[in-house]
Amino acid sequence: MKYYLTTPIYYTNAAPHIGHAYTTITADAIKRLKHMQGYDVLLATGTDEHGVNVERAAQAMGKAPLKYTDTISAEFRRQWEILGLSIDRFQRTTAPNHAKVVNEFFRACYDAGYVYKGNYTGQYCIFDNAYVNDAKPGDPCPDCGRPTETITEENFYFKLSAFQERLLKLYDDEPDFIQPESRRNEVIAFVKQGLRDLSISRTTIKWGIPVEGHAPHVFYVWFDALNTYRSAVEKDNAWPADLHLIGKEILRFHAVFWPAFLWAAGLPIPKKIFAHGWLLFENDKMSKSKGNIVRATPIKNVLGTDALRYFLLREVVFGQDGSFSYDALIQRYNSDLANGLGNLASRTLAMIQQNCGGTIPAGPGDPEIAEAAAATVASSLESFNAFNFSKGLETIWALISTVDKFIVERAPWKLAKSGDIDGLNQTLYSAAEALRIVTALVSPILPESAAKIWAQLGYQTTLDAIRVADLKWGQLASGQTIEAVTGVFPRADAKVMIEQMKEGEAAELARQKEMLGVAPAPAAAAPAAADGSGQITIDDFIKVDLRVGQVKSAEKVKGADKLLHLHVDIGEAEPRSIVAGIATAYEPEALVGRKVVIVANLAPRKLRGLTSQGMVVAASLEGGSPVLAAFIEDVPVGARLK
Ligand code: MSP
């Protein structure tokens, strides 16, 4: 029986971080779990490399888009290798097989009458690659808050409106199609509002898959990206997917657009879509601007991948938002891994070494522990199957405490002293057999550590061969010789380890920046002051004449991709002529009427034959496009900034 699951394919305009790792680690855990349940599992992930954002990020780095995405795509792939994730297919949207799949898919939709040509003018969020319905020029994107841009273009349209009833019927007939339930309700409410046809090609963008025979159209990124789920397994005959694992912010694309596209093309739809919550950092959204993005590899280097996997799946209720912090990570590690599972393993194995010469004694063990183990297997698997990892792990850890208590109550050391050999053997067999079952049961979540405990229990074969039927009590063979006992989860000193992880984080950030081509900030970036402190005085600052201006006109500068020629009113007799390097981030029409900040006393200079009488102030984002400084309150033209 096959089981095909996917993660989203990640955008290549930024380097991987713990949020991406969260989804991919969970997918890997599900893969291992399904494998244990006897499925032939395929896990696909990949990179989403087209679209304006990527094009602009590449441009900002002075690289050709494909060169740029080559680097980041390889970085994602490398990340999953470092974390030991068992990825079967890694699909890039820039791969030739994918372009073919997308074009064939388009033709199938076209031939079936679900695609037509039309003109569209609308507000578009280039970061989310989506038009914002009902937005006016200048309105921000409701999802990310960034300014939208006005775009008019000839598009191919997809008749999404034709699928409204069929989608609602799907959600109704198959209540598990979208999980969790709360997200399903959101999607139903969205579809009930009415669906508009969707533009699925662009002529304003170059960096995309060309629509064959229809130059200069390229495919809309989501029409392109969703098809990686098919192109990734083109040769495996694995479609439809059994599970698309995604973050909640991209549910609409998966639960509304994707089934409709597939139906139009006459193809089967995926079986299930699970939208998980957001991983926050100390309860705050992770973002580049806040500088609070955490990467997975420094955690791996200090505590091991399993510590991260356990934390993510135990601490965060899958489906809900959850928070990462170094403190909480160490706390979980020490209480559950070092003191819980690690302690049960080292204690049990040490007792067998001391009392039984390192050989597993004869069973059958204690009936109550056997019963508790059977109940734990059933209940934790039920939770895991519902993707409720946190609850499943909690159940397993309850068994660990039960066995711990049992060992204390039976006090094997006393049994040994009093010569109760059968009592001793039954106690130790129970502890070891419970340890075997727990180890196998947690192996999808803690693959590295489980493998170590497994070998210590004396197994020559790997856990890969274990199936659910092997989780039945009584299968640990007496006479099996255990290996030398070494602690699998040494206790972590919080202060030292957190320090190490933070240092690793800084190093990883610097490495990623270098990889992306962002030079580390030079030490003497701040203007040198006379006293060498890098600070300036107020007298220095007021030399810069910053003014509120209003854009009166804006147009592209011929032959210069990055430049716009603006006329900006700053309250003088004539608007200033200003040439600004913001063309990659703003459409000229979207700027007209907008208030901006101008450096008014810069010496004029000539750019491409045009005189620039000042400078527009914008935030310069690493790896991103410039963002104009703006005001929330209304401000009069010409006002000075001090
Ligand atoms: N390229 C699209 C997906 C196309 S799928 C056909 C995309 N890419 S992304 O790089 O932005 O990745 C988004 C996914 O990364 C989320 O849906 C989620 O799986 C994961 N996450 C990224 N940051 C995350 C958090 N902070 N928390 C949880 N998951 C996060 O959207």
| pLDDT the model gives residue 562 | 80
Query: What is this structure's pTM?
Result: 0.80
- CB-based contact 229:6 (threshold 8 Å): yes
Mutate to test the pocket of ligand 1, among 17, 20, 98, 128 (most ligand atoms within 8 A of CB): 20
Phi-psi region of 213 (alpha: psi -120 to 50; beta: other; left: phi over 0): left
Residue located nearest, by CA, to atom 23 of ligand 1: 19
Each residue's pLDDT tens digit, 5-54:
999 999 998 899 999 999 999 999 999 999 999 999 999 999 999 988 88
Q: For residue 88, how far is the Cα from the chain centroid? A: 18
**C-alpha of residue 396 to centroid of ligand 1, in Å:** 30
| pLDDT the model gives residue 308 | 98
Side-chain half-sphere exposure of 185, counting CA atoms within 13 A: 3
Cβ of 515 less than 6 Å from ligand 1: no
Mutate to test the pocket of ligand 1, among 5, 7, 9, 10 (most ligand atoms within 8 A of CB): 10
For all residues of the chain together, what is the average pLDDT?
A: 91
| 542 vs 352: which has the higher pLDDT | 352
| 631 vs 438: which has the higher pLDDT | 438
Tell whether the model's pLDDT for residue 631 goes beyond 50.
Answer: yes
Question: What percentage of the chain carries pLDDT values higher than 90?
Answer: 72
| pLDDT the model gives residue 59 | 81
Tokens 């890694």 identify what position?
90
Question: How far apart, in whole angstroms, are the C-alpha atoms of residue 575 and residue 566?
Answer: 9
Question: How far apart, in whole angstroms, are the C-alpha atoms of residue 594 and residue 468?
Answer: 64
Cβ of 23 less than 6 Å from ligand 1: yes
Measuring CA to CA, which residue among 340, 238, 245, 320 is closest to residue 279? 320
**C-alpha of residue 4 to centroid of ligand 1, in Å:** 19
| 287 vs 212: which has the higher pLDDT | 212
| 45 vs 282: which has the higher pLDDT | 45
Residue located nearest, by CA, to atom 6 of ligand 1: 226
State the first-to-last Cα distance of the chain, in angstroms, to the nearest integer.
69
| pLDDT the model gives residue 526 | 36
Both structure tokens of 46 = 């990949």
Question: How far apart, in whole angstroms, are the C-alpha atoms of residue 642 and residue 630?
Answer: 15
Each residue's pLDDT tens digit, 477-513:
999 999 977 889 999 999 999 999 999 999 999 998 8
Tokens 């740029």 identify what position?
68
**C-alpha of residue 19 to centroid of ligand 1, in Å:** 7
Tell whether the model's pLDDT for residue 230 goes beyond 90.
Answer: yes
Measuring CA to CA, which residue among 311, 207, 295 is closest to residue 508? 295
| pLDDT the model gives residue 309 | 98
Cβ of 356 less than 6 Å from ligand 1: no
Residue located nearest, by CA, to atom 8 of ligand 1: 10
**C-alpha of residue 137 to centroid of ligand 1, in Å:** 28
Atom of ligand 1 nearest to the CA of 248: 17
Question: How far apart, in whole angstroms, are the C-alpha atoms of residue 439 and residue 463?
Answer: 9
The top-scoring range by mean pLDDT among 296-300, 485-489, 587-591 is 296-300
Q: For residue 184, how far is the Cα from the chain centroid? A: 21
- CB-based contact 87:233 (threshold 8 Å): no
Cβ of 278 less than 6 Å from ligand 1: yes
Which SS3 state, helix, strand or coil, does residue 284 take? Answer: strand
Tell whether the model's pLDDT for residue 143 goes beyond 90.
Answer: no
| pLDDT the model gives residue 572 | 84
Pairing of strands 576-580, 595-599: unpaired
- Average pLDDT over every residue of 92-100: 98
- CB-based contact 5:242 (threshold 8 Å): yes
**C-alpha of residue 10 to centroid of ligand 1, in Å:** 6
Residue located nearest, by CA, to atom 25 of ligand 1: 19
- Average pLDDT over every residue of 322-339: 97
State the pLDDT confidence band at 519, using cuts at 50, 70 and 90: very low
- Dihedral of CA atoms 476, 2, 447, 387 in degrees, nearest 10, equals -100
State the pLDDT confidence band at 610, using cuts at 50, 70 and 90: confident
Each residue's pLDDT tens digit, 148-202:
888 888 899 999 999 999 999 999 999 999 999 999 999 999 999 999 999 999 8
- Average pLDDT over every residue of 594-611: 84
Both structure tokens of 509 = 């950030």
Radius of gyration of the chain (CA): 30
Both structure tokens of 261 = 């596209």
Cβ of 250 less than 6 Å from ligand 1: yes
Both structure tokens of 85 = 């994730």
In order, the DSSP letters of 82-143 are HTT---SEEEETTSHHHHHHHHHHHHHHHHTT-EEEEEEEEEEETTTTEE-TTPPTTPBPTT
Question: How far apart, in whole angstroms, are the C-alpha atoms of residue 340 and residue 332?
Answer: 10
